[in-house]
Amino acid sequence: MNAKKPRVSIGLPVFNGEKYLEHALDSVLTQTYRDFELIIADNASTDKTQHICRAYAAKDDRIRYHRNEKNIGAAPNHNLVFKLASSPYFKWLAHDDLMAPDYLLKCLSAFDETPSLVLCHSKTRKIDKQGKSIGTYSHTLKIDSPKPYERFGELIYLEKKPAWCMIFGVIRSNILKKTALFGDYISSDMALLAEISLHGPLCEVPEYLYSRRDHPHAYSAKYYVNTTSPNPFEKLRWWNPNIKRAIALPYWKIYSEYVNAVKRASLKWSERILCYDQIGKWLIREGLLNMARDLNHAFLQSSSLGRRISAVIKRMIERGNK
């Protein structure tokens, strides 16, 4: 590696990614902006991932390859690539996604033009397993608002998830260090994005320079699209397969993380109160009903008494839906 630190670090966490990995790596190496390092964290893959990574690392000294001895889970592996990074800017790249050649150039130029930015991403295209465009992701959120509570309030709603792809944007490393990073709980990517927004405005380059691949083995397809009743604990184990607890309460956890994010952020007391107010609105519109569903599922997973309590909770949920 060169002694001089690159301006941007790209972190690519991967587990058994042989099918799409080379396409992602090629999209990095064809960037018109060249001052980067690529850090790959192989989560003890059992396919040809290791062979592919080592071959690419041997050809380009900007690539650093790290292999975990065992699968530490998606969340810890995402955090690992950031901890191994050394640049003032950082971005995550999924092993099955693609960046257009000008992606880094356009995002970094936005930081130069607007020093207050904490994150910049581009418009995102959806592609299928062959790489064919099958749609786009779009939103009209006020992510560039100068007011922390407005940005935060726009990004905390999980059921809509209109801007979730932005977690793959270029982020100021010093801002990421102030956050909790990814946690071993469901939707921790959305909680992290919301926490980042507390530190400054976000920007979307108005060009489709990033492609998210939609395929049967993707997390969203496996746990949301191709199932009618996903088990929360099974989703939880994707974030960390070594987790021991047998009951998942995703909405209770996300609520506590929203509160903790506001506590951690350097905000004026008036801004902090407005952010807590946004959490209160989230509880009324989305949180409380889903927290009741969490308890319902937890009781179903436990004892016969729990199942009786679950029946009561279920009736409460049904009333809430009317």
51-72 pLDDT per residue, tens: 999 999 999 999 999 999 999 9
Best CA proximity match to 120, nearest among 232, 220, 200, 1:
200
Q: Is the pLDDT of residue 223 over 50?
A: no
Return the pLDDT at 123.
Answer: 95
Return the pLDDT at 38.
Answer: 98
Q: Is the pLDDT of residue 264 over 90?
A: yes
Residue 63 β-bridge partners:
38
226: confidence class by pLDDT, cuts 50, 70, 90? very low
**32, 8 in Cβ contact below 8 A?**
no
Handedness of CA 152, 93, 75, 298 (dihedral sign): positive
Tokens 């184990």 found at? 237
Q: Is the pLDDT of residue 229 over 90?
A: no
Best CA proximity match to 90, nearest among 43, 155, 125, 38:
38
Instruction: List pLDDT tens digits, range 75-99.
Output: 999 999 999 999 999 999 999 999 9
Residue 304, burial from CB neighbour count under 10 angstroms (0-12, 13-18, 19+):
exposed
CATH no. of 1-96: 3.90.550.10
Cα-based angle 308, 311, 316 (whole degrees, multiple of 5): 135
Mean pLDDT confidence for 237-251: 66
Distance in angstroms (rounded) separating the CA atoms of residues 27 and 256: 37
Return the pLDDT at 95.
Answer: 96
Residues of the chain with CATH 3.90.550.10: 1-96
34 or 164, which is more confident?
34
Mean pLDDT lowest among 24-33, 194-203, 250-259, 295-304: 295-304
Residue 123 β-bridge partners:
208
